[in-house]
Amino acid sequence: MSYKYFPHTQGDIQAMLNTCGEKSLSDLYRDIPQELTLKKEYELPEAMSEIDVRRFFSDLGESNHQLACFVGAGCYDHYSPSVINSIISRSEFLTSYTPYQAEISQGTLQYIFEYQSMIATLTGMEVSNASMYDGCTATAEAMMMAVAAAKKRNKVLVSSTLNPIVIRVIETYAKFHGVNVVRIEEDGGVTSRADFEQKVAADDVAGVIVPAPNFYGIVEDFTGWAEFCHQHKTLLIMNCVASALGAIKTPGEWDADIAVGDGQSLGIPMNFGGPYVGFLATRKSLIRKMPGRIVGATTDADGKRAFVLTLQAREQHIRREKATSNICSNESLMALYVTIYMALMGQRGLKEVNELGYSGAHYLASELCKTGKFTLAYPDKPFLNEFVLETSLNINDLQDYCVYNGLQAGLKIADDRLLLCVTEMRSKDEIDALVESIKDFITEEEEAVEL
């Protein structure tokens, strides 16, 4: 059978079969059980005109049930300015691969340089790399950096208040790199200071990983943590929600050594879970331990400003067996996306985004607690735009009820605990609608009990 869009000629196919020692294409698949082979034509529609194709997918899209999202937990529904998609499509930026040839890739190199500069500013650190896969792998790579810098230490402490998904990726990396990951206990929704100091004081810890904000949305106080780490020759790594750094203390202000996280909250649509972009920023003293690429600014033969890839020798395409990391692909398109977002929003815009999320989240928490069926799990801890409520209600039934009303009511993290998030995308009308939907659910539950 020939396929009109395949480039191979009959001569190509026959040459391949001769090399394999087979007579026909079907001979190549004879080991596949017959019950697994398709014995009919593909169920594909007939060819359609462009307008019919557009109509088909439009009708298909309308069958989706769009929900107002009150879920965070590492993936946030933030507004994406419409101009971003136009700019990332410009020919000087759009490319299919990493720009090894600087002379024809100045546009790509420049925006990566600008991305690094903005991430360094956002985190308060001295240098940033040229982007990574996502926040989980960036955090795991930071763990490997700490171990490499410590040389004779292979223990890394991880806060129990870090996002569980990030912890799982860290543990996966650690398992295959011989790193001993030890949890720091949780104390009332925050990382235990006493447990942290006790474990670091053993002088066998390469690095400590803490969240900002943490999985429960709490903004933890890390005063003195970096100083204690440095006294015991341990690196402090902070896993951050990128957009939150527009309002809370930066890793640089906490005197951390490495700042990591996911850049998704900087305007990247949720996209069913990806693609996203991880960021990693650090001190200059650790620059040669960094994974990924670094773009530098220089001048060309004519004295004009130019950009080049620097410090590539540590990567797998040069010395794979000695590489700090095997991260080779560069999430360049997503790096461009968040670069344009940060340029458009600026410091003032990021602050406003956080103010809107903060006010909406605190309003929602207050209104739900007024129902008498919810209480803040950590009432004495400050939160930004995410929070945990305790409830005696059946959370599964409650969420199903809200979905029916077009609302995604948070993330169930325990049988009696609900994690909720509010961003600038949620209007007061939507927040009120969620509150009313939950009140209606409570009323129906109470009436059912009476019956």
**Domain extents for the chain?**
68-77+347-450, 83-341
pLDDT at residue 133, rounded to an integer: 87
DSSP per residue over 127-178, as a string?
EE-S-BS-HHHHHHHHHHHHHHHHSS--EEEEETTS-HHHHHHHHHHHHHHT
Q: Which helix (H) or strand (E) holds 354?
A: helix 332-369
Residue 372: is its pLDDT beyond 90?
A: yes
Class of domain 83-341: alpha beta
CATH number of 68-77+347-450: 3.90.1150.10
Please say whether the dihedral angle defined by the alpha carbons of residues 298, 304, 305 and 308, taken in this order, is positive or negative. negative
- Most distant CA atoms of the chain, gap in Å: 86
Say if residue 413's pLDDT is above 90: yes
Q: Is the pTM of this model over 0.85?
A: yes
pLDDT, tens only, 117-156 = 999 999 999 999 887 889 999 999 999 999 999 989 999 9
The answer, yes or no, to whether residue 45 has pLDDT greater than 60, is: yes
pLDDT at 433 over 60: yes
Establish whether the linkage from the previous residue to 211 is cis, with ω within 30° of 0: no
CA-to-CA distance for 183 and 204, rounded, in angstroms?
14
Q: Which pairing describes strands 190-191 and 186-187: parallel, antiparallel, or unpaired?
A: antiparallel
On average, the pLDDT of the chain sits at 91
Tell me: pLDDT of 96 over 60: no
pLDDT score, position 168? 97
> Each residue of 64-91: pLDDT tens digit?
888 999 999 999 999 999 999 999 888 8
The partner residues of 420 in beta bridges, in order of sequence, read 387
**How do residues 291-328 score in pLDDT, each as one tens digit?**
877 889 999 889 999 998 887 644 455 566 666 665 65
